[in-house]
Amino acid sequence: MNEIRGSSENLMDEQIDIKITALYKSYFALVRQYIVNNSGTSDDAKDIFQEVALLYFKMCQKPTSSQIVNEKYYILGMAKNIWLKKIKEKGRYVNVEFNDHDDSIAAIDEMPELIQTNALIDIVLNKLNEISDECRKIIYGAFYLKQSAVEIASTTGYSESFIKVKKYRCLQGLKRLVSGSADFQNLQT
């Protein structure tokens, strides 16, 4: 079986694409079969799998990902949980079983919470558009993908020591833009 997880902390765009495509090829059929057998459609399965792919990607960035025993059941566990939430929202009843494998249950316990947008986050998003491309890339690598300075240096062409300094400066620059904005000041009062 293909192991999708592993070194996701090293991922950059192209590698992310390769890994996610592999995830689809290995497990989409399984997830679709489950969704279709539980009152869903093929389109529902596509929506659910998008969420699964994002959450799994985030899971792999956490140090606890090494505890995932069986990737297949882990993915299926996440899909079941998301599907259960969706059908509850729609007010439908489906008997969803979680007894296939331990990892199905582990997936539910450990699923990362996605950040919900709010007024403050909207300001950060706006200000992220105002910083330089270079800083955005470094921030994405350092604070989202959690890459080391060496990894970022290898994709940007800068030296490791430069990245170490730059990542703080970029974040500080972003923070100053946010806290200096009128919208932010208004929210504080």
Partner 1 sequence: MDKNIQMEEDIVRFLEGDMNEEECKIFESRLESEPQLQKLLLEYRTIIEGIEFWGDEQVRSSINKIQKDLEEKNFFKNGKSVSSGGRSGGNLISMNGFKYLIAAAILIAVSTTVFIWLTPDKLNGSELFANYNKLDREQLKKDIERFNVSGLISGMQAEDTIKQALIYLESGNFTESLKLLENFNVDKPGIPIVQYYLGLNHLNLGRFDKSGPIFKSLCSQKSFELASDACWYYALQLIHNNADVELAKSILSDLSSRNTYNRAAEAKNLLSKLEH
Chain contacts with partner 1 (rule: CB under 8 A): 12-14, 16-17, 20-21, 24-26, 28-29, 32, 36, 42, 46, 49-50, 53-54, 57-58, 114-115, 117, 120-121, 123-125, 128, 133-134, 137, 139-140, 143-146, 153-159, 161-162, 165, 168, 171-172, 174-175, 178-179
In whole angstroms, the minimum distance from the beta carbon of 106 to partner 1 comes to: 22
Rounded Cα gap, residues 120 and 12, in angstroms: 27
Give 102 or 122: the residue with its C-beta nearer to partner 1.
122
Give 159 or 186: the residue with its C-beta nearer to partner 1.
159
Upper half-sphere CA count for residue 111 (Cβ side, 13 Å) = 23
Kindly state the DSSP code that residue 147 receives in the 8-state scheme. -
Residues in contact with 41: Cβ distance below 8 Å, sequence separation at least 6, in sequence order: 35
In whole angstroms, the minimum distance from the beta carbon of 42 to partner 1 comes to: 7
Upper half-sphere CA count for residue 172 (Cβ side, 13 Å) = 5
Give 58 or 86: the residue with its C-beta nearer to partner 1.
58
**Residue 174 structure tokens:** 């972003």
Give 69 or 125: the residue with its C-beta nearer to partner 1.
125
Rounded Cα gap, residues 28 and 52, in angstroms: 10
Residue 159 near residue 153, CB atoms below 8 Å: yes
Q: Phi and psi for 148 in degrees, rounded to 5?
A: -80, 165
In whole angstroms, the minimum distance from the beta carbon of 164 to partner 1 comes to: 9
In whole angstroms, the minimum distance from the beta carbon of 28 to partner 1 comes to: 5
Give 102 or 132: the residue with its C-beta nearer to partner 1.
132
